[in-house]
Amino acid sequence: MKQNVIIRKVLSYLKRYTHLMVLSVVFAAAIVGLTLYVPILIGNAIDAIVEGAVAFDVIRYYLVRVGVVVLVTALLQWLMNVINNHVTYHVVRDIRKEAFGRLQILPLKYIDAHPYGETVSRMISDVDTFADGLLMGFTQLFTGIVTIAGTLVIMLTLNPLITLVVVVITPLSLFVANFIAKHTYDMFQLQSRTRGEQTAFVEEMIGNAKVVKAFGHADESMETFEEINQRLQKCSLKAIFYSSLTNPCTRFVNSIVYACVALTGAFAVLSGNMTVGILSCFLNYANQYTKPFNEVSGVITELQNAIACAGRIFELIEETPQTPDAEDAVVIEQAEGEIQCESVCFSYTEGQKLIENFNVHVKPGQKVAIVGPTGCGKTTVINLLMRFYDARSGEIRVDGNEIRDMKRKSLRSNYGMVLQETWLKSGTIRENIKMGKPEATDEEMMKAAKAAYADSFIRRLPNGYDTVIGEDGGMLSQGQKQLLCISRIMLSLPPMLILDEATSSIDTRTEMKIQSAFHTLMKGRTSFIVAHRLSTIKDADIILVMKDGNIIEQGNHEQLLQKKGFYAQLYHS
């Protein structure tokens, strides 16, 4: 994303706080005006010393005025900083809120294709870096520009010739700063990308620490981390080295300006065209005129980093969202459970075929089992039924309605899912079970937990149903986490069920009890079961046998065994 495009986007966020920005500029102008007034007072005081006898009353008068001006300037500076902080962190809040909101409507293919840590890095680290650059820009850019304009006007009134010397030499520092800034932007972009890669890798290693230790992969992980770390070190050093050249280079130019003003002013004093006080005042102004160039050059360096980080977060915000629901989309409160798939084709990647010409008709209340070897497309069918992904061609209908013509929330609220991979949120056991039905009473919740055979272990926890767990389930076993997920389904009682290896982490005895509970739950409900243990799906009304994305056999258990085909081979193996 180009710099000018990013800057326009940043300005669009700042427009919401125009009144505060105007107030900040007014304060900046007042601060600069008072700051420029101080050298005049000091110059007058010096002239009171040089010209004959020392006039102590005059000197005291000017020093008191200097003290008052400095106090007022400090107060205005504080108020300006408060306003700048307010604007900066409200802009950051707006950007993070929009980024998180966009994350909620992005299609799953984006989440699947990007490491979680890299996305987190964009929303946290990159936005923080952007905030630092924006705050520095507010604080120093406004005052710097106003200071340059103010001092230029005053110096012209004092001595146009010396002012001309200052104006001719000073722009060199801007050319130097601009040249360096252009070359550091790409380096800061690379630094942000590499930092995101490092965050993603760390997140992956922490999330899978048990696997890393179990397979003795710690050394290889360290080598990979070291390689990423080395790349981050190199690109960071380059970015910081080149950006750090800005300040010394501009200071060198400004020192030349100061020397030229001092030399020219000294000759003016000797010739009687200027007093010592005016020369002192002029030297102060020369310093104040060149100082913002140093500050602005430093701000430009920080802004390069901030803009590079802002570009990454704006890329996330502008990612293509999932196709929105139509205004006249169908809403089904309680589905009957009739599902038809007609000529459905789908693949995650263009050119790599997965599901081809998928056809099935499921009547309300039927129990459908999906079996087949790993990678044949079983879970993909579930993703299509839930509309986590849209089919590339063909139609999927629920109660006669094409699911692309239904509101996603309406479609998904009619399904209950228990997957092999459990998902729990940070909070109490009570909140996790009630996720699908927040309005449920505690009595209903406990009844559901008992039906899922989770009540007994929950009551043994330190605070029972009020025990707080983390997003990974804390110290709960994999089987206990799965029982909590099953409890959710038992509580919400949706008209359609999807069970994808729902009892894979549960002991045999508990699994038999859960299967019995599921059998009761499935009565009158359309159910889809993905299972590797074929003994658990003998009573299914329809068994879909998949291979390479296609349904190669279809029927009940007895019919498929009589065919002596692929299913029979799987079953007897």
The full DSSP string for 378-419 is: HHHHHHHHTTSS--SEEEEEETTEEGGGB-HHHHHHTEEEE-
pLDDT at 397: 92
99, two tokens? 């980024």
Lowest-pLDDT choice from 110-124, 302-316, 406-420, 506-520: 506-520
Percentage with pLDDT > 90 across the chain: 3
Q: Considering the domain 339-572 in this protein, what is its CATH number?
A: 3.40.50.300
Q: Report which secondary-structure segment, H or E, holds 369.
A: strand 367-371
Query: Three-state DSSP class for 553?
Result: strand
The pLDDT assigned to 505 comes to 66
Look at residue 34 in the predicted model and tell me its pLDDT: 86
Fold that domain 3-90+127-186+244-317 belongs to in CATH: ABC transporter transmembrane region fold (1.20.1560)
Q: Per residue in 31-68, pLDDT tens?
A: 888 887 887 787 777 777 765 566 777 778 888 888 99
Q: b vs e for 188-219, b when ≥16 Cβ sit within 10 Å of the residue's Cβ?
A: bbbbbbbbbbbbbbebebeeeeeebeeeeeee
| pLDDT band (50, 70, 90) for residue 547 | confident
Residue 452 has pLDDT above 80, yes or no: yes
More confident: 27 or 47: 27
What's the whole-model pTM score? Answer: 0.66
> Beta strand 367-371 with 526-530: parallel, antiparallel or unpaired?
parallel
The residue with tokens 């890798």 is: 201
The 10s digit of each residue's pLDDT in 177-212 is 667 766 677 787 788 888 888 888 887 887 777 777
pLDDT digits (tens, 9 = 90+) for 307-350: 888 888 888 888 888 888 888 888 888 888 889 988 888 888 77
Span 428-449, average pLDDT: 89
Q: Is pLDDT at 243 greater than 80 in this prediction? A: no
Quickly list DSSP for 425-483: -SEEHHHHHGGG-TT--HHHHHHHHHHTT-HHHHHTSTTGGG-EE-TT-TT--HHHHHH
Which residues of the chain form CATH 1.20.1560.10?
A: 3-90+127-186+244-317
The whole-number average pLDDT for the span 360-373 is 87
pLDDT the model gives residue 72: 93
Q: How confident is the model at residue 545 (pLDDT cuts 50, 70, 90)?
A: confident
Q: What pLDDT, on a 0 to 100 scale, did the predictor assign at position 245?
A: 76
Mean pLDDT, the chain, as a whole number?
A: 82
Q: Per-residue pLDDT for 294 more than 70?
A: no
CATH 3.40.50.300 residue ranges of the chain are 339-572
Alpha carbon 200 to its chain's center: 12
Does pLDDT of 270 surpass 70? yes
The band of 75, judged by pLDDT with boundaries at 50, 70 and 90, is very high
Backbone angles phi, psi at 359, to 5 degrees: -130, 130
User: How far apart are alpha carbons 74 and 400 in whole angstroms?
Assistant: 72
pLDDT at 351 over 80: no
- Tell whether the model's pLDDT for residue 257 goes beyond 80: no
Residue 360 or 175, more confident? 360
